[in-house]
Amino acid sequence: MMQDDKVIVCEKLTKRFGDFIATNEITFNVHKGEIFGFLGANGAGKTTAMRMLCGLSSPSSGKATIAGYDVYTQTELIKKNIGYMSQKFSLYENLTVRENIEFFGGIYGLSDERIKSKTDELLRVLGLKSEANKLVASLPLGWKQKLSFSVAVLHDPQIVFLDEPTGGVDPVTRRQFWDLIYEAADRGITVFVTTHYMDEAEYCNRISIMVDGRMEVLDTPTNLKHSFQARSMDEVFYQLARGAKRGD
């Protein structure tokens, strides 16, 4: 791949809290349109790393650029060029589906015309036309997650960060969610995703696994299974994570 194809460039990125090193010299690149899985047991340092990559927390040392922007000095430009979805903060439950889409379109600074066409397109693609005027609170969790993802890429960001986006739903619903991820990646949106589900890990182009603040491995699911002589990603993860000191 070409040099300028890299949308995340990270070199020895570190975050300390006093004497404690939450994220320890992580070095990796992510390419345009890639689906990059960011795995690790509880407490491994994923959220801390992700917050630095999104321009929400200043690193203690190391370097990183996101969509070409520096994580120390260009955090506003980073925020304009990324989308973000987490399990916890997503949609307004007390607004309708349509109102949520319009709200986020407004936040992202899309024109009224663009918001209208995007809203119609989204409702059609998600099969939510007849639910447009229903409160988000009334939707099943799987639909909320799909809507939440669609809203996170409404402004066609260069990268979308997904923090455990599919918690609490069954594998079939998760698979449908991943169809949306593939579509976004096909459109050139880079996807950076944390998950605890190993079936989802298999869907990623490459996976990194964090152990106690360090990025222990980074490769394709196939290569990882091969080098750990494991039948599944579950086994790879277990072999790495059982040595971890942190977590619960």
- Residues lying near ligand ATP in the complex (CB under 6 A) are found at 17, 20, 22, 40, 42-48, 246
Q: Of all helices (H) and strands (E), which one includes residue 232?
A: none
CB of 50 to ligand ATP, least distance (A): 7
| Contacts for 98 with CB less than 8 Å, ≥ 6 apart | 119, 123, 132, 133
Residue among 191, 204, 118, 107 nearest 157 (CA): 191
Residues in the chain: 248
Nearer to ligand ATP, 191 or 209 (CB): 209
CB of 46 to ligand ATP, least distance (A): 3
Token representation of residue 163: 């923090």
- Burial group, residue 20, by CB count within 10 angstroms (0-12, 13-18, 19+): exposed
| Contacts for 185 with CB less than 8 Å, ≥ 6 apart | 33, 34, 35, 191
CB of 44 to ligand ATP, least distance (A): 4
CB of 4 to ligand ATP, least distance (A): 30
Nearer to ligand ATP, 154 or 218 (CB): 218
Cβ-contact 52, 64 below 8 angstroms: yes
Nearer to ligand ATP, 39 or 122 (CB): 39
CB of 18 to ligand ATP, least distance (A): 7
Nearer to ligand ATP, 44 or 162 (CB): 44
Nearer to ligand ATP, 17 or 89 (CB): 17
